[in-house]
Amino acid sequence: MELLTATESWTARRRRASELLEAYPHAAEMLGLYLALLDAWEPGLERLRERPPAAGEVAAAAVRELLPAVLEATLAAGPKVLGEAALRRFHEADLEGLVDGWLAGEELPTVDRYLARAAAGPVLEAMPALARTQPAVADDRHCPSCGGLPQLAYFGISGESLVSAPRRLLCSRCNQSWIYPRLVCAACGSEDTGRLPIYSDSERFAGLRVDACEVCRRYLLTVDLPKDPAAVPVVDELVAIPLDLFARERGFQKITPNLMGF
Ligand SMILES: [Zn+2]
Ligand SMILES: [Zn+2]
């Protein structure tokens, strides 16, 4: 039985983001923005829980109920460049079209992707029924619920001492997780273990590592909860920038960037 999942309460996310903020000055701005977003999401989600949108209305609901607060949080706590660009797009862009594009898996410019994901991601997570679609690609390298790409992999904590918990992938779109084999590339499915290098910096990041693939040149981060039981995968993944840079210098590209664009 798995005792910890990646969908811990937001209390755990707040606690972890505050802890990491102390421990990793390099990620302070990003974690500050993440904490501001957690506060910004809550009132809009409360309103949506009272009057849940229909399946086709996710973009309209996210733009109406969450996006204004997301913009405010970004201006208050985010990097200045991001805040200015977000403000510009908020006034210029077809915001519902932009969120619909993100929901459909379109490649979007960085700021558009940030706005769409920050507004619609929490809606899909809070109301999983809205995320359920007929995925365009149905394989185990895409979310079985919405067809999204994996943001990260994690190992949970097994309740039984001799049994290790399965590897899971966490969806970048709706935050559902699914079981995925341990020694298989999460991007291309290669099982050639000689070409699946792992990079870690266990002194700085006890529970984090890079799982890369020399076949497709992609990578993702793995959060190893047995090595760092206090970790909250979706928050810890945000502080791994030095590991991201290490992987990029070696010519690997992340399967999909995280909310903050890394
Ligand atoms: Zn999903
Ligand atoms: Zn691969």
What CATH number should be reported for the domain holding residue 213? 3.90.1670.10
Global pTM value: 0.94
φ, ψ at 208 (rounded to 5°): -125, 145
Q: Which ligand is nearest to the CA of 183?
A: 2
The per-residue DSSP string of 9-33 comes to: -HHHHHHHHHHHHHH-GGGHHHHHH
In terms of domains, do 177 and 124 share one? no
**Which two structure tokens, joined as six digits, stand for 57?**
């209305």
User: Are residues 206 and 215 in contact, defined by beta-carbon separation less than 8 angstroms?
Assistant: no
Is 5 inside a domain boundary? no
Residues 182, 209, single domain; the answer is yes
User: What is the domain extent for residue 194?
Assistant: 150-254
- Structural domains in the chain (count): 2
Contact 164, 187 (CB under 8 A): no
pLDDT tens across 144-186, in order?
A: 999 999 999 999 987 776 678 899 999 999 999 999 999 999 9
Residue 223, token pair as written in the block: 């959060």
Distance 154 CA to ligand 2 centre (A): 17
Structure tokens at 84: 């200015």
CB 58 within 8 A of CB 99: yes
Identify which ligand lies nearest to the alpha carbon of 144: 1
- Mean pLDDT (whole number) for 23-47: 96
Asked if 146 and 173 touch (Cβ cutoff 8 Å), the reply is: yes
How many residues are given for the chain?
Answer: 262
Q: Which residues are placed with Cβ below 5 angstroms of ligand 2, an ion?
A: 185, 187-188, 190, 213, 215-216
Ligand having the closest approach to the CA of 130: 1
Structural domain contains residue 145: no
Residues 6+ apart with CB under 8 A from 1: 158, 159, 160
Tell me which residue of 78, 139, 142, 133 sits closest to 103, measured CA to CA: 133
| Cα distance between residue 30 and residue 258, in whole Å | 11
Whole-number Å distance, alpha carbon 211 to ligand 2 midpoint, is 10
**Best CA proximity match to 130, nearest among 208, 48, 189:** 48
14, 126: one domain: yes
The set of residues, in sequence order, having a beta carbon less than 8 Å from that of 194 and lying 6+ positions away, is none
Ligand 1 midpoint to CA 132 (Å) = 8
Name the percent of the chain lying above pLDDT 90: 89
Mean per-residue pLDDT for 216-223? 98
CA of 200 to the centre of ligand 2 (A): 18
Per-residue pLDDT tens over the stretch 106-132: 999 999 999 999 999 999 999 999 988
Instruction: Verify that 190 and 223 share a domain, yes or no.
Output: yes
Same domain, 187 and 233: yes
Asked if residue 135 has pLDDT above 90, the reply is no
Q: Would you state the structure tokens that stand for residue 175, as one six-digit string?
A: 């935050």
pLDDT of residue 3: 39
